[in-house]
A and B are shown apart, each in its own frame.
Chain A
Amino acid sequence: MNQGIDLQRSFVELLTGAGLPQEVARAFWLPLPMVVILAVVTVAVLLAIWGERKWAADMQQRIGPNIVGMAGFLQGVVDAIKLIVKEDIIPRKADPWLFTIGPILVLIPAFFAYLVVPFGQNLIISDLTIGVFFLVALGSVAPIGALMAGYSSNNKYALLGGLRAAAQSISYEIPLALSVLSVVIMTGSLSTIAVVEAQNTYGMLSWNVFKPIVGQVGFVVFLISALAETERAPFDLPEAESELVQGHHTEYSGMKFALFYLAEYANLVLGSLMATILFLGGWGFFVPVETLAGWLGVDLLNPVFQLFAAFLGIVITVLKSTIFVFLAILARWTLPRVRIDQLLDLGWKFLLPIGLVNLLLTAAFRLAFPGIFGGV
């Protein structure tokens, strides 16, 4: 398709044009993706928190935050400042090292995963050949952080919460991976860019969610397991306030609690972006970009149109993932919490077999109807 915009090359060219040697320009480029990730994730998390508060308030017929900033938009910032300036308490009997590393370990994988999330043809930090597998692998690191936080707090509720978080997380990783694998079979590549491009050949119709049977089943399995992976209601067993106080968050306060909070919303946004990329065609518009260029009557390689397409891609990705964030919030404020045995039953006895059958069906369909299911 089109080559789009190569940000790194343009940036390096800009700096070399300003009289810097190429190596120095490259060195300037290196920290930029990190800064971009930090900024994007923080803004996304703030938006998600604001959305959660406003929507939750709507569902409960109250107004929600409405004082700080426009319509309470800056409430999250104020909360963050409050948490940062709070005293950092480490319980006397806690293990201070593990107590500090725990929340960091929960947060780091969530941030790393944004490396492979594409917002457009070239709007990705690094297009790894194993992108989707990388996402799944990073998702499996989080239970270590929960166990660490739970153990080091030296508190029975925290330990129980940590163990529950780990059990839940490793149980739902398997159906999640299976539903992701069926997408990979349909794509024939593990790169996130390739996954999105394979879904945008015929516009909306080739999105994975519209693939007959396997698309919808995989989508539902993915949504449930991703919601369980983020450990939010109705699957918020690890932190169930009314049973376990706050689970492995119990002893945390100040900045360390803020890290947990940030990680929860970073994971929520990440899960929504993953659902967008894997099933809803990522940055793809409802029609292919060539058709769009035809409608507007401009050349596909026109730089202004390219800029417009890149911008449209970002907007579309954000809009699609907002739908999923909204769904998660809707589930949280309308559904009651499941019991731990129901949770594990759902994962092992329901989602896992369905995921396996779906995987087999996808492979069979790909062999039988290669035109629809991405065969050769």
Chain B
Amino acid sequence: MNLGEGVRLVSFGILALIVLGGALGVVLAPSMVHAAFLLGLVFVGMSGLYLLLNADFVAAAQILIYVGAVNVLLLFAIMLVNRRIPDAAAGKRGLRNTIAGFVCLFVFGSLVNGVVRVPWPISTETPIANSTLRIGEQFFSYYLLPFEAVSILLLLALVGAIILARREFVPDRTESGDQPLVLPERPRAEMDETPKLPETTGRR
């Protein structure tokens, strides 16, 4: 990155505004769908900040995984679960949110205080040119074990998500009593045999 220092500063300002404004929107927006799209904006802004930090590979990975996968998953979940009912809690219910806001401001203040006071051991070495190559070398030498562990974790997550989201384990009666959608791909005979879970009366 041989961007001029001024360009870097201005782009940092813009990206920080995008990220923080988007994050506030994620937390406060009354509509869940807007919040999810703003989360995508936050992810893109973060990847811009990563570029400023000479981490081009991580920036592209951020776009690929966060924007392309996590955000799409979240949107899917929102659109599948319900798209009408807004999150009534955000921005309302005064006392609890006010206290939480003050606590967060306090935490932010102490964090910034710490950041400013600690003399970070800033390195004067020139950053390496090809970070992708270095990341690959590190992954297959010193960090091989965590790398394999993450691979297994991803595999487990894949299998677990499929098992959790499968419809066969869903009881047929919902709490409110109305009949859920009967899926055409599920044969009737098998559906009658499914053991019914005992009715749960949730405390509301």
Contact = CB atoms under 8 A, between A and B. Distances in A.
Asked if chains A and B are in direct contact (CB within 8 A), the reply is yes
Interface of A: 98, 128-130, 133-134, 136-141, 143-144, 147-148, 151, 159, 163, 166-167, 170, 173, 190
Contact of A130 (B37, B57, B129): B57
B132 A140 contact: no
12 contacts: A98-B33, A129-B56, A129-B132, A133-B132, A134-B60, A143-B68, A144-B71, A144-B72, A147-B76, A151-B75, A151-B83, A170-B69
B46 interface: no
Contacts of A137: 60-61, 63-64, 68
Best-surrounded residue of B34, B37, B67, B132 (most CB of chain A within 10 A): B37
Given A144-B67, A166-B72, A130 B60 contact: yes
A130 B72 contact: no
Given A128-B56, A134-B60, A170-B69, A159 B79 contact: yes
A166 B64 contact: no
Contact of A166 (B75, B129, B131): B75
B68 A170 contact: yes
Given A140-B63, A173-B68, A130 B56 contact: yes
B57 A133 contact: yes
B136 to A, nearest CB: 10
B130 interface: yes
Contacts of B56: 128-130
Top 7 A-B pairs, shortest CB-CB distance: A140-B68, A137-B64, A137-B63, A137-B60, A133-B60, A147-B75, A140-B64
A148 B79 CA distance: 11
Contacts of A170: 68-69, 72
B109 to A, nearest CB: 34
Nearest to A101: B37
A202 to B, nearest CB: 26
Contacts of A98: 33-34, 37
Given A130-B56, A137-B60, A190-B132, A163 B68 contact: no
B45 interface: no
B79 A163 contact: yes
Interface string B34-70: 1001001000000000000000110011011001110
Interface in B1-55: 33-34, 37, 40
Given A128-B56, A143-B72, A163-B79, A136 B37 contact: no
A148 to B, nearest CB: 6
Contacts of A190: 132
Main secondary structure of the interface of A (DSSP, over half): helix
A129 B63 contact: no
A151 B130 CA distance: 41
Interface string B172-195: 000000000000000000000000
Given A128-B56, A137-B68, A190-B132, A144 B63 contact: no
A307 to B, nearest CB: 29
A159 B129 CA distance: 45
A144 B75 contact: yes
B61 A163 contact: no
Contact of A163 (B33, B69, B71, B76): B76
A141 B132 contact: no
A133 B56 CA distance: 10
Contacts of B57: 130, 133
A140 B67 contact: yes
A167 B76 CA distance: 9
Nearest to B63: A137
Nearest to A136: B64
A151 B75 CA distance: 10
B57 to A, nearest CB: 6
A70 B130 CA distance: 50
Nearest to B68: A140
B33 A151 contact: yes
A133 B79 CA distance: 30
Given A98-B34, A151-B83, 11 more contacts: A98-B33, A130-B56, A133-B61, A136-B64, A140-B67, A144-B68, A147-B75, A147-B79, A148-B37, A151-B33, A170-B69
A38 to B, nearest CB: 21
Nearest to B64: A137
B72 A147 contact: yes
Contacts of A128: 56
A44 to B, nearest CB: 24
Nearest to B66: A140
Contacts of B75: 144, 147, 151, 166
Nearest to A23: B4
Best-surrounded residue of A128, A140, A159, A163 (most CB of chain B within 10 A): A140
B132 A130 contact: yes
Contacts of A151: 33, 75, 79, 83
B150 to A, nearest CB: 17
Contacts of B79: 147, 151, 159, 163
Interface string B62-94: 011001110110011001000100000000000
A328 to B, nearest CB: 23
A136 B64 CA distance: 7
A57 B72 CA distance: 38
Contacts of A163: 76, 79
